[in-house]
Amino acid sequence: MEYAAPTTVDEARTLLADNPGSRVFAGATDVVPQMRSGRPEPSVLIDLKRIDRLMSIAHNNGHWTIGAAMPTSELTSNGEFSSVFPGISEGAGWIGSDQIQNRSSLGGNLCNGSPAADSVPAMIASEARAVIAGTDGERTIPVADVVTGPGQLSLADGEFVVEFEIDDPPANTGDAYIRMTPRTEMDIAIVGAAVRVTMDGDTCTDARVVLGAVAPTAVRVPDAEAALIGSSLDEAALAEVAAAASAAANPINDKRGTIEYRVQVAGVLAKRAAVLAAERARA
């Protein structure tokens, strides 16, 4: 196995194309445990962290651009970003301990393809886009379209995510991500719920509801969104949100939670995230 640390996107693209079996990585927080548990070694480990573009964050022209390999600790400590997208920031912040946070990245968290990835639901709720580099140049697709199943991506051979784009939200918009883990830290989410709402006074005028860890990929819940839109997030509307979220959950039984538990808690967390997002929207 070899190691390479390209300093440009082109260099990285060439390395990936020229070395079958090679793999890009950022923080290695998933790569290392996978290699230790028997996953075959890549032919070349391509370290993306020396490419400035993949490690930076910028806000201009009405949108944010975040490098795919940038440590999430830099995202969460970016006060401006965290005040505009508290839900994405807290999702990214839940990926792991401080040690993990200094290595984990939005790109890694997405491209590991785990249904339980903590940063993904809120990214989808804010309609984030992934800029992908490959042999044919670059293309941009919604983050929601990157993961197609557990550990499966829609990326072609030789492609990797370079950066993320998130448009500034409309005024009076707030987002939130709440997850359920048995301990207060260090766990993979059993259920995750991200909600983004736009409020006009007490009335919700737009909503996105996205669940994590309860289906093969993160899932949007249109019925929950419909229940929020036009409502004042009263008890009846929230009950509908919860019911819709539970109905949209299609989880498995595994060592972290039962189907029953995930379905029930999906509803609880969707409700709580909606309330929190609305508070933030009104603030």
What residues line the site for other proteins (CB under 8 A)?
Answer: 1-3, 5, 27-29, 32-33, 35-37, 41, 45, 47, 49, 71, 73, 96-100, 102-103, 180, 182-188, 190, 255-258, 260-261, 264-265, 268-269
Helix or strand run (H / E) with residue 242: helix 235-248
Nearer to other proteins, 187 or 206 (CB): 187
d(CA 155, CA 166) in angstroms, rounded, equals 20
Q: What CA–CA distances, in Å, run from 64 to 130, 166, 167?
A: 12, 5, 6
Contacts of 122 (CB under 8 A, 6+ apart): 85, 87, 88, 90, 91, 175, 176, 177, 194, 196, 210
Measured from the CB of residue 246, what is the shortest distance to other proteins in angstroms? 12
90 SS3 class: helix
Nearer to other proteins, 78 or 198 (CB): 78
CA atoms within 13 A on the CB side of 164: 29
Measured from the CB of residue 120, what is the shortest distance to other proteins in angstroms? 19
Measured from the CB of residue 270, what is the shortest distance to other proteins in angstroms? 12
d(CA 10, CA 189) in angstroms, rounded, equals 35
Measured from the CB of residue 32, what is the shortest distance to other proteins in angstroms? 5
Nearer to other proteins, 98 or 157 (CB): 98
Contact 195, 176 (CB under 8 A): yes
Measured from the CB of residue 41, what is the shortest distance to other proteins in angstroms? 7
Nearer to other proteins, 73 or 217 (CB): 73
Nearer to other proteins, 156 or 186 (CB): 186
Question: Can you name the residues that pair with 131 across neighbouring β-strands?
Answer: 140, 163
Nearer to other proteins, 197 or 270 (CB): 270
Instruction: For residue 47, count CB atoms less than 10 angstroms from its CB and return exposed for 0-12, middle for 13-18, buried for 19 or more.
Output: middle
Strand pairing category for 23-25 and 44-47? parallel
Strand pairing category for 203-212 and 219-220? antiparallel
Measured from the CB of residue 126, what is the shortest distance to other proteins in angstroms? 25
The length of the chain in residues reads: 283
Nearer to other proteins, 119 or 173 (CB): 119
